């Protein structure tokens, strides 16, 4: 029974898994920020390309949109 408690204490004190979890959380946070930035940038670029296409159509150019 004493071996069991000693094993439990050693697991409780072991912090190597905590470091891996921290790195995982940091990577997830970075991924969320990147996804948000790409989504915002994509929306802005779509709006800008739409404005350019509209201006070209008004100028008499032929524009094909996907």
For the stretch 1-46, pLDDT in tens is 677 767 767 766 666 666 778 888 999 999 999 999 999 998 899 9
Interval 33-62 mean pLDDT: 87
CB 20 within 8 A of CB 26: no
Q: How far is CA 13 from CA 5, 10, 22, 26, in A?
A: 12, 5, 16, 22
Most distant CA pair in the chain, distance: 87
pLDDT at 14: 65
Within its chain, how far is the Cα of 53 from the centroid?
30
Specify the higher pLDDT residue, 56 or 15: 56
Whole-structure pTM value: 0.52
Domain boundaries, the chain: 33-65
pLDDT at 6: 76
């Amino acid at each position: 029974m004493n071996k069991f408690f000693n094993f439990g204490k050693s697991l409780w004190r072991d912090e190597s898994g905590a470091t891996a979890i921290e790195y995982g959380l940091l990577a997830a946070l970075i991924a969320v920020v990147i996804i948000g930035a790409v989504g915002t940038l994509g929306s802005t670029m779509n709006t800008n390309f739409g404005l350019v296409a509209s201006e070209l159509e008004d100028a008499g150019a032929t524009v094909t949109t996907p």
